[in-house]
Structure 1
Amino acid sequence: MTIEDLPDFPLEGSSLIGKYPFLFQGSDTPVIFSISAAPMPSDCEFSFFDPNDTSCQEILFDPKTSVSELFAILRQWVPQVQQNIDVIGNEILKRGCNVNDRDGLTDMTLLHYTCKSGAHGIGDVDTAVKFATQLIDLGADVSLRSRWTNMNALHYAAYFDVPELIRVILKTSKPKDVDATCSDFNFGTALHIAAYNLCAGTVKCLLEHGANPAFRNDKGQIPADVVPDPVEMPLEMADAAATAKEIKQMLLDAAPLSYDLSKPLLPNYDRVTSKAMLTSLGLKLGDRVVIAGQKVGTLRFCGTTEFASGQWAGIELDEPEGKNNGSVGKVQYFKCAPKYGIFAPLSKISKAKDRRKNIAHTPSTKAGPLIRSQKIDVAHVTSKVNTGLMTSKKDSASESTLSLPPGEELKTGAEKDVPLIGSISSSSSISSLEHKQSLSKKLNARGNNKKTMSKSPSLSSRASAGQSPPCTAAGAAARRPAAWRVA
């Protein structure tokens, strides 16, 4: 673990410097300037400072513009400012400042800002390299750190992935400085920072300059351990996943031969055959699978890929909810229609259940107990019908239900679940006295019902064919109000 040096200069009492720079011409002692806002032209049409604009140039080259205000301009993270780091930086130096003076808000030096300004897509690398070389020649200290981030110039260059600046910085550094740690990154080195941020160019540059790939941070992690896992990245980050795979392999290959602790900890699924992986999961190509319990499709591919390490499953979805046609980049892993293809880690797929079997099985299990109860209670409904509260037509329908074979009896009963239950609950409220008084009527009604059955053979035949008798539905509907009148 390296020792991190904090600034040893006074942190307070220097606010006058920012306001009156002419009082401190040619100062040899680094100071911290007061905090200020960036000056802007009164008629400015944009919200940032543009050194290429005429009005902004008047402010920039005005001697009355303070160093604090110029540092405030450097804090603006826009190409117009970052690509002109040398112009703004030289204006700060012209006001008699020390090369290691600091911004009061960020505690950053000009060299720190220059390392940021080399970021691709925002700044200009060539401009940043030239100005950094100029600052170092003027005595810029590459080991100075910001109080707030505890980062030195090397850390900033690694974080913003500027290997060109790393080469400039390491030329004037001591050999051990390449492994200087930073508390804001778990006391990891610049190599940890670059690995975590997927800065492939910086990782390669640091390794070439002697960075230790086996250096452990406070969590016991080597740089290879902090590389984001490509398996956890979404498909939209396929390029980043490929970079992560490249960086991790680069770091592991660079590790000393005696260091072999991290490799066993990293599951190397690339060596496991896809067939063995599928067998262990109870799957095979062509199986129906579910992705994370949501999307359903057919398994078309299983194996290693170019966009990430490990074993991946390629699925042709049932709906156009995918990302591709079975290809990623220039590699075609399987073929399907556009938007129907998707890739997922094997850990997120499972075999789809046969829903048709479940659907066929569920009604039978629920209908079983209802059918048995109907078979017992229908007799009570019939006796209630024969008390004279319902017509003989309804009696014939109920009696015909009892006369059906067991198999057909279930079908008819299932169609009358609700009416039958209502009639049963109503008939249970009839007193025994009423049954005694209607005994003779029931005997006569049963004789009539038998005659009715003999005259209506088509009723039984229709029920046996799986069709509901016309009078059954009407009778069930008619029984419901009658039963409620009794209750």
Structure 2
Amino acid sequence: LDVPFFDTDCPSCLNILHSDDTTVPEIFAILRQWVPRTQKDIKTLASEILKRGAHVNDRDGLTDMTLLHYACKSGATGVGDLTSSTQTVGMLLDYGADASLRCRWTDMTPLHYAAYFDVPPVIELLLKATKKADIDSPCQVFDGGTPLHIAAATLCLGAAQTLADCGASLTSLDNLGRIPFECVPEMRKGEALPSEVSTACNMRDLLRCSLPSGVHGSDGSAQQQEAAPSPSTGRVLLQSLGLKIGDKVTVGGSKVGTLRYCGTIHFATGIWAGVELCNPLGKNDGSLGGVSYFQCPMNHGIFAPITKIQKYDGSPQVDAASP
């Protein structure tokens, strides 16, 4: 489909979507566009795929993700629409979508994606559908961590609260011997966004207060080990978001820059993005704690969870001026 971004408010886009000539793989390509105008219409896009005879558990040939995987992440704050995501997940579950299927590239189930992209209502729906059988299911991309480990590592406070309220284990160990509390990244002032420093503190408070009596989580920074790079996983996550290294992106919906890095970092688990900002609004030069992940002028570099990144669509309210 030769369109930069798909928008169902655009009559031409709708004509393409409803055309009998538009194939299931082409609609999956639309689903991979990580911009609000696409993600808010996840229900329409999923319905069009099913109308063409696809099975509800069919997978995207590029990312190996099912419609349920895509619907779970479409509720991400700042990019997707929570109501649409929740409705679509409910629809797919009613149609028989299998909530236990894992993406072969990322080893993530729909619940892992809902935790990773911080979508609490979807987490509740999935746990109801599976009767909580997978609430502590491990994911090898996150060092064998459970959904709660993932939420802790990616600072998804709403997801962590929901998982804890639903009975997720606070003492499950990942492959590195860490409980979820010990996976909360050490967000140093001056190296991270102020909001992320605050969220990390709140996450520690939540998980510390929820620990059973007699169990004391240690400071995550002392327990974290440097994770082995996983370039294939980083590439697949970027593909599922319709992104690639070198793309112009926004961080947190406001700062504009160029995506320079996607992968593991030394102070946190999971996949993070490194961005060279257009303006000197960053925290570093692409290095953290003496480790260089990419190179850019000082104060132009910033790191953020990949869930906080979206492709820049030229929105006028975002300042994209070059330095």
- TM-score band w.r.t. shorter chain: 0.5 to 0.7
Paired amino acid for 1:244: A
Out of 224, 228, 233, the residue aligned to residue 189 of structure 2 is 233
CA 1:131/1:265 → structure 2, altered by over 3 Å: closer, same or farther? closer
Say if 2:113 is the partner of 1:156: yes
Aligned partner of 1:170 in structure 2 is: 127
RMSD: 1.7
* 8 Å contact kept, 2:7–2:37: yes
How far apart, in 2, do the equivalents of 1:136 and 1:61 lie? 24
Deviation string, structure 1 residues 315-347 (Cα, Å, up to 9, x no partner) = xxxxxxxxxxxxxxxxxxxxxxxxxxxxxxxxx
- Aligned ranges 1:441-456 → 2 under 5 Å: none
Say if 2:213 is the partner of 1:253: no
Offset of 1:264 from its aligned partner?
8.2
CA 1:55/1:166 → structure 2, altered by over 3 Å: closer, same or farther? same
Offset of 1:257 from its aligned partner?
1.4
How far apart, in 1, do the equivalents of 2:146 and 2:85 lie? 23
CA 1:113/1:159 → structure 2, altered by over 3 Å: closer, same or farther? same
How far apart, in 1, do the equivalents of 2:122 and 2:176 lie? 28
Say if 2:16 is the partner of 1:63: no
How far apart, in 2, do the equivalents of 1:185 and 1:247 lie? 18
Structure having the higher Rg: 1
Aligned partner of 2:57 in structure 1 is: 100
Say if 2:79 is the partner of 1:79: no
Aligned partner of 1:113 in structure 2 is: 70
Deviation string, structure 1 residues 281-336 (Cα, Å, up to 9, x no partner) = xxxxxxxxxxxxxxxxxxxxxxxxxxxxxxxxxxxxxxxxxxxxxxxxxxxxxxxx
How far apart, in 2, do the equivalents of 1:137 and 1:59 lie? 28
Q: Secondary structure at the match of 1:56?
A: helix
Point out the structure with the larger helix share: 1
* 8 Å contact kept, 2:28–2:60: yes
How far apart, in 2, do the equivalents of 1:89 and 1:175 lie? 25
* 8 Å contact kept, 2:182–2:218: no
Say if 2:164 is the partner of 1:207: yes
CA 1:179/1:236 → structure 2, altered by over 3 Å: closer, same or farther? closer
Structure 2 unmatched runs, 5+: 223-323
Could you state the TM-score of these two structures normalised by the residue count of structure 2? Answer: 0.66
Aligned partner of 1:185 in structure 2 is: 142
Paired amino acid for 1:67: V
How far apart, in 2, do the equivalents of 1:235 and 1:144 lie? 37
* 8 Å contact kept, 2:43–2:84: yes
* 8 Å contact kept, 2:135–2:147: yes
Of structures 1 and 2, the one with the larger relative CO (CA 8 A, separation 6+) is 2
Paired amino acid for 1:239: S
Aligned partner of 1:138 in structure 2 is: 95
Moved more, 234-243 or 74-83: 234-243
Offset of 1:241 from its aligned partner?
1.4
Aligned partner of 1:315 in structure 2 is: none
How far apart, in 2, do the equivalents of 1:257 and 1:266 lie? 22
Paired amino acid for 1:206: L
Q: Secondary structure at the match of 2:130?
A: coil
Deviation string, structure 1 residues 418-440 (Cα, Å, up to 9, x no partner) = xxxxxxxxxxxxxxxxxxxxxxx
Q: Secondary structure at the match of 2:78?
A: coil
Offset of 1:245 from its aligned partner?
1.2
Paired amino acid for 1:219: L
Paired amino acid for 1:193: I
How far apart, in 1, do the equivalents of 2:193 and 2:149 lie? 21
Offset of 1:258 from its aligned partner?
3.5
Deviation string, structure 1 residues 181-209 (Cα, Å, up to 9, x no partner) = 10000000110111011111111000001
Paired amino acid for 1:70: I
Deviation string, structure 1 residues 95-129 (Cα, Å, up to 9, x no partner) = 11111010000000001000111011111110111
Aligned partner of 1:216 in structure 2 is: 173
Structure 1 unmatched runs, 5+: 1-38, 268-487
Offset of 1:243 from its aligned partner?
1.4
* 8 Å contact kept, 2:184–2:220: no
How far apart, in 2, do the equivalents of 1:242 and 1:178 lie? 27
* 8 Å contact kept, 2:114–2:120: yes
How far apart, in 2, do the equivalents of 1:163 and 1:265 lie? 24
Paired amino acid for 2:165: E
- Aligned ranges 1:317-356 → 2 under 5 Å: none
Paired amino acid for 1:90: S
Could you state the TM-score of these two structures normalised by the residue count of structure 1? Answer: 0.44
Aligned partner of 2:200 in structure 1 is: 244
CA 1:244/1:236 → structure 2, altered by over 3 Å: closer, same or farther? closer
* 8 Å contact kept, 2:69–2:110: yes
Out of 53, 65, 80, the residue aligned to residue 10 of structure 2 is 53
Paired amino acid for 1:242: S
Offset of 1:263 from its aligned partner?
4.1
Offset of 1:253 from its aligned partner?
1.5
Paired amino acid for 1:248: R
How far apart, in 2, do the equivalents of 1:208 and 1:119 lie? 20
* 8 Å contact kept, 2:185–2:221: no
Point out the structure with the larger strand share: 2
